[in-house]
């Protein structure tokens, strides 16, 4: 089975398909490769959903197997495995996700909405550029979302060819990426790209996330070895990107594996609450185990190991503040979601919970 036709299909997805039961479980599933306003582009795979007793499988991935269906009422993201209706006009079911990178999409009024950037990803590459000052707070947020997604986070520091001395930026970002690999790469010179390629082993799906202009699409072009994605110069003065990539899209890696290019996002706000904060701030949580009081707030309690670390210079107080802010944001979000759910219950509608 080559990466060209399996699209990342696994026994887990087969089980999810079987669990749909009935007619749905007998249909050929497809992977959602791109979303445009109102439309999803689907790819079929030779491997997906093929049963031993079936004479032939679904068609292999080729342009002829690419179909477009309407997005009516389907809550889908790029990377999803879906079951289209028999006429391949719309999506009838979305298979249970193995992971999903979800952020809060809007702050309009009091209606919070989730935006799933990518689904069924094995590795999330959080891309930051070496050409701007390190943004530790942004990386911390991204790491929380990445850990909550269920995928494995990796940090990629891009544009290595433009940085004379990347050490300070690397050190600053590595300091907040506790236990997470940090790679330095350049999509232009090709430096470090082989190391990133290794994450695709076994036909994995890798999503690249980061602010506009950090070089996600350029890295993808370097990884696939051709100009698969359009890129655009950043603004000269402030190095900000131009939001060149406008839709998330699945890209095949020669030799196996899948990449998901995503549009740069300005803000990363929390949506789900799992163990993301605990994992992203593992260092602080380990310290907390050594506070004298189990309910220590790390304010002015005696024998507080967290404040001890700040006083001793081993914990940056800005990182502690950042964690406290994220904990508060998560608590506010949970309260807000409870209110919304109650309102929906009263109206007799139930919004499906994020599927992951
Ligand atoms: N010198 C150099 N330039 C790079 C590198 N990576 C990206 N660039 C340039 O930075 C600009 C933005 O790169 P893109 O790949 O379009 O950035 P992006 O992250 O995909 O941006 P959005 O699609 O807007 O989210 C382009 O002009 C690229 O040529 C790199 O490693 N070295
Ligand atoms: Mg791009
Ligand atoms: Zn404490």
Q: Which residues contact 170 (CB under 8 A, 6 or more apart)?
A: 130, 157, 182, 184
Task: List the domain range (segments joined by +) for residue 57.
Answer: 3-94
- Name all residues whose Cβ lies below 6 A of ligand 1: 158-159, 161-162, 186-188, 210, 212-218, 231-234, 241-245, 263-264
Asked whether residue 87 falls in the same domain as residue 150, the answer is: no
Helix (H, G, I), strand (E, B) or coil at 80: coil
- Domains in the chain: how many in total? 3
Which protein residue's CA is at the shortest distance from atom 2 of ligand 1? 159
Can you read off the two tokens belonging to residue 149?
Answer: 């997604």
What's the 321 CA to ligand 3 centre distance in angstroms? 13
SS3 111: coil
Residue 356 forms part of a structural domain: no
- Rounding to the nearest 10 degrees, give the CA dihedral for residues 13, 196, 60, 87: 60
Same domain, 125 and 235: yes
Q: Which of 131, 218, 244 to mutate to test the pocket of ligand 1 (most atoms within 8 A of CB)?
A: 218
Count of positions (residues) in the chain: 356
Q: Is 90 exposed, middle or buried (0-12, 13-18, 19+ CB in 10 A)?
A: middle
CATH of the domain at 17: 2.40.50
Q: Is residue 133 located within the same domain as residue 256?
A: yes
Q: Which residues pair with 94 in a beta bridge?
A: 82
Per the CB < 8 A criterion, the answer to whether 276 and 145 are in contact is yes
pTM here? Answer: 0.90
For residues 116 and 246, membership in a common domain is answered with: yes
Does residue 82 form part of some domain? yes
Taking CA atoms, 137 is separated from 134, 144, 192, 274, in Å, by 9, 11, 25, 19
The structure tokens 């163990």 sit at 275
Angle at 26 between CA 22 and CA 29, to 5 degrees: 120
Burial code of 22-56, b = ≥16 C-beta within 10 A, e = fewer? eebbebbbbbbbbbeeeebbbbbbbbbbeeeeeee
pLDDT tens digits, one per residue of 68-85: 998 877 789 999 999 988
Q: The tokens 């996700």 sit on which residue? A: 97
Give the pLDDT confidence of 27-68 residue by residue, as tens digits. 889 999 999 888 999 998 877 765 544 444 444 445 456 889
H or E, element range at 197: helix 193-197
The three-class DSSP label of residue 31 is strand
Residue 208 CA, closest ligand 1 atom number: 19
Report DSSP state, residue 90: B
Per-residue pLDDT of the chain (356 residues; tens, 9 = 90+): 333 458 888 999 999 999 999 989 888 899 999 998 889 999 988 777 655 444 444 444 454 568 899 887 778 999 999 998 888 889 999 999 999 999 988 665 556 788 899 999 999 999 999 999 999 999 999 999 999 999 999 999 999 999 998 999 999 999 999 999 999 999 999 999 999 999 999 889 999 999 999 999 999 999 999 888 888 888 777 778 888 888 899 999 988 899 999 999 888 888 877 899 999 999 999 999 999 999 999 989 999 999 999 999 999 999 999 999 999 999 998 888 888 888 877 776 655 555 44
CATH number at residue 297: 1.10.40.50
257 closest CA partner among 197, 181, 190: 197
């Amino acid at each position: 089975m080559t990466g060209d036709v399996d699209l990342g299909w696994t026994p887990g997805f087969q089980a999810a398909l079987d669990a749909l039961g009935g007619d749905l479980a007998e249909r050929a599933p497809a992977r959602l490769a791109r979303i445009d306003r109102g439309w999803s582009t689907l790819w079929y795979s030779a491997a997906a959903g093929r049963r031993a007793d079936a004479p032939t499988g679904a068609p292999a991935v080729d342009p002829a197997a690419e179909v477009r269906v309407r997005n009516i009422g389907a809550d889908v993201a790029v990377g999803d495995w879906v079951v289209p209706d028999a006429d391949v006009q719309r999506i009838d079911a979305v298979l249970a996700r193995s992971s999903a990178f979800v952020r809060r999409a809007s702050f309009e009024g009091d209606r919070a909405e989730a935006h799933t950037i990518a689904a069924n990803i094995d590795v999330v590459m959080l891309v930051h550029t070496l050409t701007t000052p390190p943004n530790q707070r942004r990386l911390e947020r991204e790491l929380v979302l990445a850990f909550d997604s269920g995928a494995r986070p990796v940090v990629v520091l891009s544009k290595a060819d433009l940085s004379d001395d990347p050490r300070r930026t690397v050190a600053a970002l590595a300091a907040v990426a506790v236990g997470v690999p940090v790679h330095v790469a350049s999509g232009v010179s090709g430096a470090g790209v082989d190391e990133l390629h290794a994450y695709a082993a076994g036909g994995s799906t890798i999503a690249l996330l980061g602010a506009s202009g950090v070089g996600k699409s350029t890295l993808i072009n370097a990884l696939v070895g051709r100009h698969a994605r359009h890129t655009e110069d950043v603004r000269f003065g402030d190095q900000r990107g131009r939001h060149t990539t406008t839709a998330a899209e699945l890209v095949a890696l020669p030799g196996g594996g899948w990449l998901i290019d995503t549009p740069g996002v300005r803000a990363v706000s929390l949506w789900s609450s799992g163990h993301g904060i605990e994992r992203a701030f593992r260092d602080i949580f380990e310290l907390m185990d050594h506070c004298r009081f189990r309910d220590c707030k790390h304010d002015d309690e005696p024998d507080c190991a967290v404040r001890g670390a700040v006083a001793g210079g081993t914990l940056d107080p800005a990182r502690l503040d950042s964690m406290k802010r994220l904990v508060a944001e998560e608590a506010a979000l949970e309260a807000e979601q409870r209110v919304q759910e109650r309102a929906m219950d009263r109206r007799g509608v139930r919004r499906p919970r994020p599927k992951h």
